Amino acid sequence: PSRPRTRIPLLRRAPASLLLLAIVVATSCAEAANDEANQLYLAGEHRRALARYITLIHENPELQELRVNAGNALHQLGENEQALDEYGFAIRAATTDVRAVAHYQRGNTLFRLGKLEGAREAYMDALRLDPKDRDAKFNIEIIDRLQGVPEQAAPGGSPQPSANRLWVSDGTSE
């Protein structure tokens, strides 16, 4: 799913050109810093990535995508309860696209904890928000198979671990 445009709080009584410049600079800085944190994450430096995401969250509390990224880093570090907290924050505060990804990631963490019913419900929530999410559909099928639920007319395939989705500056998640 694509990420919504970043919203930066507007300054009151500022000339329009100054306001536009402030928005562009703030957005560019946050996106560049998020890209830097994502590179740390992708390089396996999850602790450093998490520290960067936390700093970015404090600097840009309106960017709920950062909560999902912090949750992903926590998930990789095995700090599952904290990861669930970050996903929960994004689910409550974010736009539909971000909430869909947060539900999906929450499902991954619950699955890791062996909480299959909770994981299935999280994937279902992701699917309700993004009916085209093939990964969520696949993961629901895997859980159903693990729980012995009869298979419906769904495409086959072998189980594959789902990767965490990171928000990137080009407006997508990977």
Q: Which residue(s) pair with 167 in the sheet?
A: 173
Per-residue tokens: 135: 């990964």
What is the overall mean pLDDT for the chain? 77
Residue 173 three-state SS: strand
pLDDT band at 73 (very low <50, low <70, confident <90, very high): very high
Residue 5 pLDDT exceeds 70: no
Q: Are 105 and 89 in contact (CB under 8 A)?
A: no
List the structure tokens of 5. Answer: 């445009």
The structure tokens listed for 151 are: 């298979």
Residue 43 has pLDDT above 60, yes or no: yes
Q: How far apart are CA 148 and CA 47, in angstroms?
A: 37
As a whole number of angstroms, the distance between CA 56 and CA 65 comes to 10
**pLDDT at residue 164, rounded to an integer:** 59
Q: Which residue's structure tokens are 């990420």?
A: 3
> Lowest-pLDDT range, 62-71, 81-90, 147-156?
147-156
Torsion of CA 115, 118, 123, 127, to 10 degrees: 170
pLDDT at residue 9, rounded to an integer: 34
Confidence band of 111 (pLDDT split at 50, 70, 90): very high
pTM: 0.72
Residue that is written with structure tokens 């999410």 in the block = 133
Higher pLDDT, 14 or 64: 64
